[in-house]
Chain A
Amino acid sequence: MAEVHIIGQIESAQDFPDNRLCCRWSLQIGGGWRVVEGDTEGQTQTDLPITEKAYFCHPIDIHLATKSIQGWPKIHLEVWHHDVYGRQEIYGYGTAFIPTSPGEHVITCNCWRPKGGFKDELMQFFVGGGLQLRSPAPLEDPVERQKLHTVAMGTVTLRLSIITRHFDRFGIQC
Chain B
Amino acid sequence: MEENREASSVPTLHRGARLGWTEEPRPLVNDEGISIVKDKVIQQGDLNQLSEAEYQILPETSQEVEFSRENTEEYMIEDRPRSAGSSSVSSRSSKRTSISADLSATIRQRVRQQATAKLAEKRGSVQLAKRLLRSQTLQTPEDEGELEEDQKIIDHQIEESIKLGEKYTKSTLKTSLAPEHVQKSFFETESVHLVSPPEKSSHVIFGKPKTIRSSETEQFGQLLTSYGMKALSMSIEDPIAKLDNKLFASKPGRDYSVLAQRLGSTFFTSNGTLKGLEEFLTNKPLKLDRDEDEDFLLVDYSTAQNWDEWEKQKGRHPHRYFQFNIDVNRVEFDHHWLFSVEDSLAREVRNFHREFEACGERTLELMQQFLRLQQRRDTFVLDEEEKGKLNEEIEQVEKGFQAEFLTYRKLASLLENSWHKLVQHRETQNAATANLLVEKVESNLPDFGEIPQDFQSFITYPTFLLKEVKLAENRKPGKTEAERQSTMNKCRIQIQIFFNDILVCKTKPTPLSNEFIAKFTEIYNLRVFEKPENVTLVIMERFGRFGWRELARVFVPVPVEAEDHPWEESSKLEAMQFASNLRMDKYKGSMGSGIPNASPFIQGRLYCKSVWIDSDFGQQVRDKKQELLKESEAFELIPSETRLVSDEEFASDIRLEALSKRFARQYGNKHPSKWIGLTSAEVDHGWLTDEFKIDERHRTGGLEFSSIDVYRRAGNRYAAMIRSHLLEMYARDHRMKNYNDIVNEPNLPTSLFDIGSLFGPPDLSRRLKPMRITTQKPQGPGKSHYRLVVNVQSGVNLPERVDNTHMQAFVDVVFQKQHGQTQAVEGRNANWQQTITLDIINNIDAHLDFKAITDALQLNVYDQVISQLEFDDREPNTIHEQIQKRWLGSVSIPFSTIYSLGKIDGILAIKPPLFFTGYKISSEHAFLKVMITIDPPIASPKFSSYGNFVAGESDAIMKSCAKWEKQCRTLFPDRRFVALANDAKGERVLVTKFLRSIRPPRNILSVSESREKAIELAIHSVSCIPFIADPVMFPGILDLWTTVEQMLTIGCADEEEHAILLACWLLYLGISVVLLLGTGLPEGPKAAYVLVQLDNNVCWIINPNDGNKYALNEPMCPLISVGTLVTPENVYANIQRGSHPSQLDFDLKKANNWLPLFPEPRTDLKSVQVESIDYNEVSEDVLVELRTNLEREIKLKFDEMRPYGIPQWNLMASRLLREILTNMSNSIHVDVESAFSQLRAAYNISAVAFRRPYISKDKLLEDIRNLNVHVNSDQNAQFALSLHIQPFVNNIISCAVAMASLAPKA
A residues contacting B by CB (< 8 A) are: 1-3, 31-32, 34-38, 63, 65-70, 83, 85-90, 114, 116-120, 123-124, 127-134, 137-138, 142-144, 146-148, 170
Of B281, B296, B656, which is within 8 A of A147 by CB?
B296
Q: Does the CB pair A119–B310 fall under 8 Å? A: no
> Which chain B residues in 610-646 approach chain A with CB under 8 Å?
637-639, 642-646
- What residue in chain B is nearest A138 (Cβ atoms)? B298
7 CB contacts below 8 A, A to B, read A32-B644, A38-B663, A68-B643, A90-B302, A123-B301, A128-B303, A134-B299
In the complex, what residues of B have CB within 8 A of residue A146's CB? 286, 288
Contacting pair A134 B300 (CB below 8 A): yes
- Residues of B near A90 (CB, < 8 A) are 302
Chain A nearest CB, measured from B456 CB (Å): 64
Would you call B754 an interface residue if the criterion is a C-beta within 8 Å of the partner chain's C-beta atoms? no
Identify 13 new A-B residue pairs, CB closer than 8 A, beyond the known A1-B650, A32-B650: A34-B656, A36-B656, A36-B659, A36-B663, A37-B662, A38-B663, A70-B638, A116-B301, A120-B301, A131-B300, A131-B302, A134-B300, A147-B288
- CB of B146 closer than 8 Å to a CB of A: no
Instruction: Give the interface centre of A32, A34, A131 by most chain B CB atoms within 10 Å.
Output: A32
Contact A129 B650 (CB under 8 A): no
Bound complex: CA A137 to CA B301 (Å): 17
User: Whole-angstrom distance between the alpha carbons of A128 and B303 in the complex?
Assistant: 6
Task: Evaluate contact between A1 and B301: CB separation under 8 angstroms.
Answer: no
What residues on A are CB-neighbors of B662 within 8 Å?
37
A117 with B642: in contact, given A37-B663, A129-B302 (CB under 8 Å)? no
Query: Within 8 Å of chain A (Cβ to Cβ): is B1262?
Result: no
Q: Tell me whether chain B's interface is mostly helix, strand or loop, or mixed.
A: loop
Task: For B286, give the chain A residue with the smallest CB separation.
Answer: A146
Task: Please pick, from A36, A69, A128, the residue contacting B644 in the complex, using a CB distance under 8 A.
Answer: A69
Query: Of residues B301, B303, B310, which shows the largest number of chain A Cβ atoms within 10 Å of its Cβ?
Result: B301
In the complex, residue of chain A having the shortest beta-carbon distance to the beta carbon of B311: A88
User: Given A37-B663, A132-B300: A1 and B306 within 8 A (CB)?
Assistant: no
- Given known A-B contacts A88-B306, A128-B303, A1 and B663 have beta carbons under 8 A apart: no
Most chain B beta-carbon contacts within 10 A, residue among A34, A35, A142: A34
**Contact (Cβ within 8 A) B298 A144:** yes
Asked if A1 contacts B642 (CB within 8 A), the reply is no
* Distance, CA A169 to CA B1129, complexed state (A): 68
A8 to B650, CA, bound (A): 26
Residue from A35, A37, A65, A118 within 8 A of B293 (CB atoms): A118
Most buried by A among B307, B639, B646: B307
Give chain B residues whose Cβ lies under 8 Å from the Cβ of A35: 660
**A87 to B646 CA separation, bound complex (whole angstroms):** 49
Q: Which residues of A contact B304 (CB under 8 A)?
A: 83, 85, 87-89, 127-130
Task: Give the chain B neighbours of A38 by CB distance below 8 A.
Answer: 663
Annotate B49-66 by CB proximity to A: 1 below 8 A, 0 otherwise.
Answer: 000000000000000000
Q: Within the complex, which residue of B292, B303, B643 is in contact with A32, where a contact is CB–CB below 8 Å?
A: B643
Instruction: Say yes or no: B305 contacts A88, CB within 8 Å.
Output: yes
Q: Which of A34, A86, A118, A138 contacts B650 (CB 8 A)?
A: A34
A148 near B293: Cβ-Cβ < 8 Å:
no
Nearest neighbor of B649 in chain A, beta-carbon distance: A1
Q: Assess the A67–B305 pair: CB atoms within 8 A.
A: no
Q: A87-B305, A127-B304 are in contact. Are A133 and B639 (CB under 8 A)?
A: no
Q: Could you tell me which B residues sit within 8 Å of A by CB distance?
A: 276, 278, 281, 286, 288, 290-294, 296-307, 310, 637-639, 642-647, 649-650, 653, 656, 659-660, 662-663
Least CB distance from B379 to A in Å reads: 55
Closest residue on chain A to residue B303 by CB atoms: A129
Q: Are B306 and A68 in contact (CB under 8 A)?
A: no
Provide the residues of chain A in CB contact with B642, threshold 8 Å: 32, 68-70
Q: Are B638 and A32 in contact (CB under 8 A)?
A: yes
Residues in chain B near residue A130, CB distance under 8 A: 301-302, 304
Q: A36-B659, A88-B306, A129-B304 are in contact. Are A119 and B293 (CB under 8 A)?
A: yes
Docked pose: A123 CA to B278 CA in angstroms: 37
Set B278, B300, B644: member contacting A68, Cβ < 8 A: B644
Please tell me if the beta carbons of B653 and A1 are within 8 angstroms of each other in the complex: yes
Q: How far is the CB of B286 from chain A (nearest CB, A)?
A: 6
CB neighbours of B637 from chain A (8 A): 31-32
Of the candidates B305, B644, B649, B660, the one whose C-beta lies within 8 Å of that of A170 is: B644
Also in contact, A1 and B645, with CB within 8 A (given A63-B659, A85-B304, A87-B304): yes
**CB neighbours of B663 from chain A (8 A):** 36-38
What are the 10 tightest A-B residue pairs by CB atom distance, in nearest-first order? A117-B293, A128-B304, A87-B304, A129-B303, A67-B650, A117-B292, A89-B304, A37-B663, A131-B299, A68-B638
A86, closest chain B residue (CB): B306
Asked if B278 and A148 sit within 8 Å, CB to CB, the answer is: no
Contact among B281, B288, B301, B639 with A131 in the assembled complex (CB-CB below 8 Å) = B301
Q: Is B298 within 8 A of A134, CB to CB? A: yes
Which residue of A37, A38, A66, A170 has the most chain B CB atoms within 10 A of its CB atom? A37
- Cα A70 to Cα B643 in complex, Å, equals 8
Give the Cβ gap from B643 to chain A, nearest Cβ, in Å: 5
A138 to chain B, nearest CB (A): 6
CA of A120 to CA of B298, assembled, Å: 14
Q: Could you say which residues of chain A place their CB within 8 Å of the CB of B300?
A: 131-132, 134
**CB-based contact A1/B644 at 8 Å:** yes
Bound together, the chains give a CA A117 to CA B653 distance in angstroms of 52
Complex CA–CA separation, A47 to B310 (angstroms): 18
* Complexed CA–CA distance, A67 and B276 (Å): 18
Q: Which of A68, A116, A118 has the most CB of B within 10 A?
A: A68
A72 vs B1124: C-alpha distance when bound (angstroms): 56
Q: How far is the CA of A66 from the CA of B638 in the complex (A)?
A: 11
- Report chain B residues within 8 Å CB of A68: 638, 642-644
Q: Is the CB of B650 within 8 A of A2?
A: no
Contact partner of B638 (CB less than 8 A), chosen from A67, A83, A114, is: A67
A86 touches B307 (CB 8 A): yes
Nearest Cβ distance between residue B973 and chain A, in whole angstroms?
35
Q: Which residues of B contact A2 (CB under 8 A)?
A: 644
Q: Shortest beta-carbon distance, A37 to chain B, in Å?
A: 4
Greatest chain A CB density within 10 A among B290, B642, B662 is at: B642
CA distance A32 to B646 in the complex (A): 10
For the complex, give the distance between the alpha carbons of A1 and B663 in Å. Answer: 19
A134 touches B660 (CB 8 A): no
Query: Across the interface, which residues of A come within 8 angstroms of B297, CB to CB?
Result: 134
Q: Which residue on A lies nearest to B735, using beta carbons?
A: A43
Q: In whole angstroms, what is the CA distance A164 to B1284 when docked?
A: 67
Closest CB-CB distance, B429 to chain A, in whole Å? Answer: 65
Which residues from A are CB-within-8-Å of B298? 114, 133-134, 137-138, 144, 147-148
* In the complex, residue of chain B having the shortest beta-carbon distance to the beta carbon of A32: B638
Given the complex of chains A and B, what is the CA–CA distance between A8 and B292 in angstroms?
41
**Chain B residues positioned under 8 Å from A144 (CB to CB):** 298
Which of B281, B298, B639 is most buried by chain A, counting CB atoms within 10 A of its CB?
Answer: B298
**Residue in A65, A87, A142 whose CB lies within 8 Å of B306:** A87
Residues of A with C-beta under 8 A to B276: 70
Q: Which residues of B contact A32 (CB under 8 A)?
A: 637-638, 642-644, 650
Across-interface contacts of B292 in A (CB, < 8 A): 117-118
Q: How far is the CA of A35 from the CA of B96 in the complex (A)?
A: 67
B660 → A minimal CB distance (Å): 5
B644 touches A132 (CB 8 A): no
Bound CA–CA A91/B659 (angstroms): 37
Q: B662: nearest residue on chain A (CB-CB)?
A: A37
- How many Å lie between the Cα of A106 and that of B485 in the bound state? 82
Cβ distance A72 to chain B, nearest Cβ, rounded Å: 11
A67 in contact with B647 (CB, 8 Å): yes
Q: In angstroms, how far is the closest chain A Cβ from the Cβ of B667?
A: 11
Q: State in angstroms the CA–CA spacing of A130 and B302 once bound together.
A: 6
A36 touches which of B290, B301, B638, B660 (Cβ 8 Å): B660
Task: Give the residue name and chain of the B residue nearest to A69 (CB).
Answer: B642
Q: Across the interface, which residues of A come within 8 angstroms of B650, CB to CB? A: 1, 32, 34, 65, 67
Q: Which residues of B contact A67 (CB under 8 A)?
A: 638, 643-647, 649-650
- Which residue of the partner chain B has the closest CB to A143? B281
Measured between C-beta atoms, what is the minimum distance from B665 to chain A in Å?
Answer: 11
